[in-house]
Amino acid sequence: MVVAAHPLAVDAGLRMLKSGGNAVDAAIAVAVTLNAAEPFASGMGGGGFMVIHLAKEKRTTVINFREKAPHAASPLMFKEKGDAENEWRTSTGLAVAVPGALAGWHLALRRYGTRSFADVASRAVEIAEQGLVISQTFSNINKEEYERLAKNAGPGNCYLNGGLPYEPGDVLRNPDLARTLKLIASKGVEEFYQGDLAKKIVAAVQAHQGIMTLEDLAAYKPTETSPLVGTYKNCTVMTAPPPASGGLQLLQLLNISANWPVKKWGQNSLATIHHLSEAMRFIFADRGRYLGDPDDVGIPVQSLLAKDYAEALASRILPDRPLDDYPSSIFEEKKAKKDNTTHLCVMDQEGNVVSLTQSINDFFGTGIVPEGTGFLLNDHMDDFSSDPESPNAPGPGRRPLSSMAPLIMFKEGKFFLALGSPGGTRIFAALGEIILNVTEFGMSLDDAIEAPRFFSYSVRGKPRPVFVESRIPQSTLLELQKMGYQVEVREAYDKYFGGAQGLMVVKKGKLILGGADSRRDGSGAGY
Amino acid sequence: MKNKSWVLITSLAVLSSFASAALWSEEVKAVFEQPLLVTSAGQNAEVQILAVLAKRAGLEYSLAKLAAAKDLDNMKTLALVLGTSLKGLGAAGLDMDKERDRVTALVAEAQKRNIPLLCLHLGGENRRGQQTDELITALLPLARMAIVVRSGNIDGIFTKICQEKNIPLIEVEKTADALDPLQKAFR
């Protein structure tokens, strides 16, 4: 079974499984194909996290291929730009963190896969050469990000259609990307980090006022680490640890929720939305205070995940109205809210499972395309804090805090659910709601993913509105307002709330259900 | 997975609107002068696309995403791209109330100076919603001409208002197709 944000990528993964590849082979095939089929949301110019469950070994591991700051990065590098800070953080070479995707894919393949990069990249090469038929989703996003692409991608770049956005039904051909993939297949990943591709990346970054050097690329290494582990009722959740924050925040949300009769309250009821929104606000306070690159800052992970801490937070939440204050944090509200990134899940016949989230940050990243390479460079430096005192301040070689939360869940020791989502800081909330929909409200995976969502957070101890999809009943929204909430209603299936993909085993392991999100071009297939 | 398409209204009234829309998509007459001030109502991304189209059309124009009264100095036409973008509003540091105030004041000043209004809706079906529809209802009646991408008019909102106010409505299939009527609309 394969689920991902584009049917062509799902097809690539399924073909890999059918030809005898394992879940890791298939997951990397999907990941690379997304570079061609959903280039605005991820690719070799970005990074991510991958949770792998090895069925025979009964072991779960995490590959961290999050990007890193260049060596010349400093805590004040963005703050000193003043009013132009946001522009520098998203649309210039300074926004580009050293990409980790290719190194991460390569590490996973080498350690746990059975196929070559040429094999897993073959479908991506075909799509890049033959062309991608543009969907409504792609067209909408292409229009939304038009200004940055027009400014940065270079004349004649393939990410615009004759200098204008793509319309649905147009065809995007990317022969440069095809050539790049073939080059890496023949010369190895070193070509990207030390060879001619590295020179092109650095040239493009520096031409756009960035600070990345060849040494930065050559020094990049992905890491393999143990997963972050938590529990919810009779389930064990394994997810990516910091610098991925989403998993930790999700576990906090589930820990707090466990103190309440959520099932009795009902899905998206007034009580459920109120209590979970308050929980989210407390969780954001912790995020701002404690989270950063664990290689540089100490994070009290076990304290944050302690059940009694969750109980204490739950007891602070009032049953009938929101609080006015939350523990102060240094989490900053960014002007431009992000709903980017992509997620995929794969399960093979042996029971191996991969849950992978990857991104180039903003849709279309910085819009910078190294000459002749066909891939977009990320703007993940924007995930660092502006505050030089923050645990998530930029610094040499640091990994910016990520909101990603690819996860694998086990019920009574057996694999139960793989899940993940894009959606920036809303990722953990989306995943928490989906998990509750499945475990508490008995929904099927697809229904759980499609169900309307909500989100809230706090900034410097003060509550922000509760954001809801318009499908949540008007009566509930009125009750929330009466309670004292400022309610902001968004579209019925708004990408703001993520675009989850998941797969779930039911009927005592005899059936695998896939779930894909209409908020993006989600798709799934199995055999 | 759900079907995300607009619910098609198949009443006779709309059928007749569609028939009328064909009548309204007539030969474009040059009713505007250059230079034009290009801005959005709703901080959408399509305003940048209009600037590109204006350049390709060989028009003299000025793009001001946060256009105010002073930007109308020396301008002969106000081109307003309708459509709300939460991302755009956030990037501009505005909420919808402030954007509404900005645009209302701008349009009022244009009217005071007898600068005609060209309304465009280039985002198609995806650039519709309650806030965008409120902008359309408030501003379109003041226009001298409207150019819209057809998928954004599937429920006939542009057709209805343009018919009521006798405003020429030009429908195009894709954003890029707006180039031709845009060029023809200017002397």
- What does the pLDDT look like over A85-102, one tens digit per residue? 888 999 999 999 999 999
Distance from CA of B129 to the nearest CA of A (A): 8
Question: Residue A151 domain-assigned?
Answer: yes
Mutant choice from A139, A167, A362 vs B, greatest count of B C-beta within 10 A: A167
Question: Residue A340 domain-assigned?
Answer: no
- In this prediction, what percent of chain B has a pLDDT beyond 70? 86
- Stretch B46-63: mean pLDDT, rounded? 96
Do residue A165 and residue A262 come from a single domain? no
Handedness of CA A138, A63, A298, A275 (dihedral sign): positive
Do residue A59 and residue A148 come from a single domain? yes
ipTM confidence score: 0.81
Do residue A367 and residue A513 come from a single domain? no
For residue B127, pLDDT beyond 80:
yes
**Domains of chain B, each with CATH number or no CATH:** 28-184 (3.80.30)
CATH number at residue A448: 3.60.20.40
Angstrom CA distances, B86 to A277, A422, B105, B110, B138, stand at: 21, 18, 21, 26, 19
Question: Residue A395 domain-assigned?
Answer: no
What pLDDT shows up at residue A110? 97
For residue A295, pLDDT beyond 90:
no
| Enzyme catalytic residues of A | 341
Question: Residue A389 domain-assigned?
Answer: no
Nearest to A164 among B52, B123, B126 (CB): B52
Nearest to B48 among A146, A335, A496 (CB): A146
SS (H, E, C) chain B: CCCCCCCCCCCHHHHHHHHHHHHHCCCCCCCECCCEEEEEECCCCHHHHHHHHHHHCCCCEEECCCCCHHHHCCCCEEEEEECCCHHHHHHHCCCHHHHHHHHHHHHHHHHHCCCCEEEEECCHHHHCCHHHHHHHHHHHHHCCEEEEEHHHHCCCHHHHHHHHHCCCEEEECCHHHHHHHHHHCEC
Distance from CA of B146 to the nearest CA of A (A): 20
Do residue A255 and residue A369 come from a single domain? no
What pLDDT shows up at residue A328? 52
Do residue A65 and residue A204 come from a single domain? yes
For chain A, how many structural domains are there in total? 2
Nearest to A140 among B86, B90, B126 (CB): B126
What pLDDT shows up at residue B17? 42
Do residue A192 and residue A232 come from a single domain? no
- Stretch A355-367: mean pLDDT, rounded? 96
Do residue A364 and residue A313 come from a single domain? no
pLDDT tens, A105-157?
999 999 999 999 999 999 999 999 999 999 988 998 999 899 999 999 987 89
Q: How far apart are CA A195 and CA A32, in angstroms?
A: 20
What pLDDT shows up at residue A508? 78
The verdict on B25 touching A (C-beta cutoff 8 Å) is no
Lowest mean pLDDT among A81-90, A338-347, B147-156: A338-347
For residue B18, pLDDT beyond 80:
no
Do residue A293 and residue A165 come from a single domain? no
φ and ψ at residue A99, rounded to 5 degrees: -65, 145
Tracing tokens 């998993």 back to the chain, one arrives at A247
Spatial neighbors of A414 by CB under 8 A, at least 6 apart, are A505, A509
Do residue A86 and residue A233 come from a single domain? no
The whole-chain average pLDDT of chain A stands at 93
Question: Residue A233 domain-assigned?
Answer: yes
Do residue A451 and residue A357 come from a single domain? no
Question: Residue A392 domain-assigned?
Answer: no
Do residue A301 and residue A369 come from a single domain? no
For residue A55, pLDDT beyond 90:
yes
- Stretch A174-199: mean pLDDT, rounded? 97
- Stretch A481-497: mean pLDDT, rounded? 93
- Stretch A400-416: mean pLDDT, rounded? 93
Contacts of A144 in chain B (CB under 8 A): 45, 85, 87
Mutant choice from B174, B177, B179, B180 vs A, greatest count of A C-beta within 10 A: B174
Question: Residue A393 domain-assigned?
Answer: no
Do residue A176 and residue A107 come from a single domain? yes
Question: Residue A398 domain-assigned?
Answer: no
- Range(s) of the domain holding residue A497: 225-335+404-525
Q: What's the pTM value of the predicted model, to 2 decimals? A: 0.88
